Amino acid sequence: MSETRPQWGSRVGFILAAAGSAVGLGNIWKFPYITGENGGGWFVLIYLVCIAVIGLPIMMAEIFIGRTAQNSPVGAIRSLSRPGSPWIGVGWLGVLTAFVILSYYSVIAGWAMHYVFLSVEGGFAGLDKTQVDTIFAEFSADPMRSVFWHVLFMFITFAIVVGGVKRGVERSARILMPALCLMMVALVIHSIGSDGFKPALDFVFAPHNENFHWGPATLEALGHAFFTLSLGMGAMITYGSYLKRDDDLVTTSVTVCTLDTVIALLACMVIFPIIFTYGMEPDAGPGLVFKSLPLAFGKMAGGAIWATVFFLLLTFAALTSGISLLEVAASYFIDERGWSRFKASSICAAVILLMGVPTALSAGTKLFGSGFAQMTSIVFGENNGKDWFGVFDYISSNWMLPLGGLFISLFVAWRVSGEARERGFKSGTKFDRMFWGWVFLLRFIVPFGVIAVFLNLIGFFDLIGLTGE
C-alpha cells in the first residue's frame, strides 16, 4: 500500500491543505455569530482554552493515526488494532459523517457563491432592512436557485478532488489559502479605519457579563472546537495519511490550530466593526453574515467591492473545507474497495449532491421545511422541530463529531500499544517532552469534556439546575 500511496509535495502543502479543511464556514459564518450570541469576550476566552486542551490533542491523535498507518480512517484503525475490531466502527462513522456534513455544507457554500454575484451586481446598495431580509428569504426559498448553486459547488469540489492529492487538493490549497489570507488582511485593514473598530475590539477581547452564561457557553465553545478544526470524522486522519512517517506531528498540528484560530478571530474583527459602525446588534444569529452584513455593505462607500471580497473569501474558505469532506468519503472507496479515484469521487459527489437537495429545499418547501419540522418536533419537543437542514446540522455537529472525537482519543490513549504511541509521537519532532502531556489530555480531559457536552444535550444539567440561566 505505501509504495503507491499518494503523498503531499511538501510539509507546507500539507499545512495549507489541513488549514484549508479547518478554515471554513465554521470560522467566518458560525464563529462570529455564536460569539455575538454569547456576549463576546468570555466566550472567546473559553473557546481558546477548548482549542488548546481538547482540539489540539485530538488533532494530533488524528494525524498520528493517519501518518502511522498510511491509510484512510477505516483501514488505519484496522491496522492499529486488529481486523474485525469494533474500533473500526469509528472509521465508518467518520465516512458517514462526511456524507452528511458535506450535503448541507455545500448548500450554505452555494449561498455564499450566490452572494458573490449579488455583490458584483452592486446588489445591496441603498436597500433597507426589509429589502435585504427579503432577498435572503426569497433566494433561500427558491428551489431552482438553491439547487443550482449547490450543484455548482459540488461540481467544483469534485473537479478538484478528482485531480488527486498533489495535483488537486494540494494545488488548490496553495492558491486558495494565500488568496483567502490576503482578502482577510485587506478586510481587516479596511475595518481598522471604521468607527466600530474599537467597540468591536472591546466586544471580542474584553470580558462582559451580558448575554454570557458560562455553562451553555462552554458547551457551545467545545462543540464548535470539533467542527471548526474538522475533528471527529477522520479528515485529519485522511490528510495525515499522505504525510511521511517522520514529518513533525507537533509543529504541524500547532500551526493548523493556530491558523484556524487566527482566521476565526480576524473574521470577528471584520464583521463586528461593520456591525457596530452601522448601529446593528451583534446577536443576530445565523443571519449575521447573510442579512446584517449586506445591509451594512449597502450603506458603505465602495460597499459593492468590499461585499464581493467578503463573499469570495467565504466561498474560498468553504471550498477548501468541502474538498476535505469529499476526500474522506472518496478515500474510503479508493483504499477499501479498490475503486479508481474518478469512480470514487464521482459516485460520492453524486450521492452527496442528492442528499443535499432536501436541504436546499428546506427553506422553500413544506415537505422538507415546516412539515418536516412538525414531524421532528416529536423528537425535539413541541416548537423545537427542525427542518431537514436543521436535523442534519444538529446530528452531525452535536453528536457525530464529538462522538467520533471521543472514540478517536480513547483509541489512541488506551487501545494503541504504548510503544507505537510513543514512537509515533516522537518521530520527527523536537518536542518529545510533550508526550505525556498529550497522553494525559487524551486520557482524561478530552473524555470529560465530551461527556459533559453529551450530558448537556440530553438535558442533564437542566435537570440538576446547573445551566446558569
The terminus-to-terminus CA distance of the chain in angstroms comes to 54
User: What phi and psi, each to the nearest 5 degrees, are found at residue 237?
Assistant: -65, -45
Q: Which stretch binds ligand PFF (CB under 6 A): 108-116, 147-155, 228-236, 348-356?
A: 228-236
What whole-number distance in Å separates Cα of residue 156 and Cα of residue 350? 12
Instruction: Please list every residue from 101 through 120 that binds ligand PFF, using CB under 6 A.
Output: 101
Check residue 72 and give left, alpha or beta (phi > 0: left; psi -120 to 50: alpha).
Answer: beta
Q: Which stretch binds ligand PFF (CB under 6 A): 32-40, 74-82, 226-234, 270-278?
A: 226-234
Indicate the residue type of 13.
G
| Cα 105 versus chain centre, distance | 9
- Letters for 172-211 (x = contact with ligand PFF by CB under 6 A, - = none) are ----------------------------------------
What whole-number distance in Å separates Cα of residue 69 and Cα of residue 77? 8
Which residues, other chains included, contact 460 with Cβ-Cβ below 8 Å and sequence gap of 6+?
none
Nearest distance in Å: CB 433, ligand PFF: 30
Residue 230 found at the interface with ligand PFF (CB under 6 A): yes
Nearest distance in Å: CB 369, ligand PFF: 24
- Letters for 322-341 (x = contact with ligand PFF by CB under 6 A, - = none) are --xx----------------
What whole-number distance in Å separates Cα of residue 398 and Cα of residue 452? 12
Angle (nearest 5°) at CA 221 between 61 and 183: 85
Q: Which stretch binds ligand PFF (CB under 6 A): 127-135, 317-325, 336-344, 413-421?
A: 317-325
Nearest distance in Å: CB 84, ligand PFF: 26
Q: Which stretch binds ligand PFF (CB under 6 A): 164-172, 230-238, 248-256, 275-283?
A: 230-238
Residue 361 found at the interface with ligand PFF (CB under 6 A): no
- What are the DSSP calls for 41-59, one per residue? HHHHHHHHHHIIIIIHHHH
CB 16 within 8 A of CB 10: no
Minimum CB distance to ligand PFF smaller for 25 or for 373: 25
State which of residues 99, 227, 407, 461 lies at the interface with ligand PFF (CB under 6 A): 227
Nearest distance in Å: CB 227, ligand PFF: 5
| Residue in the block written with cell 475533528 | 231
Residue 266 found at the interface with ligand PFF (CB under 6 A): no
Minimum CB distance to ligand PFF smaller for 23 or for 361: 23
CB 124 within 8 A of CB 297: yes
Q: Which stretch binds ligand PFF (CB under 6 A): 65-73, 80-88, 151-159, 225-233?
A: 225-233
- What are the DSSP calls for 391-415, one per residue? HHHHIIIIIIHHHHHHHHHHIIIII
- Letters for 10-29 (x = contact with ligand PFF by CB under 6 A, - = none) are -----------xx-xxxx--
Minimum CB distance to ligand PFF smaller for 280 or for 453: 453
Minimum CB distance to ligand PFF smaller for 74 or for 434: 74
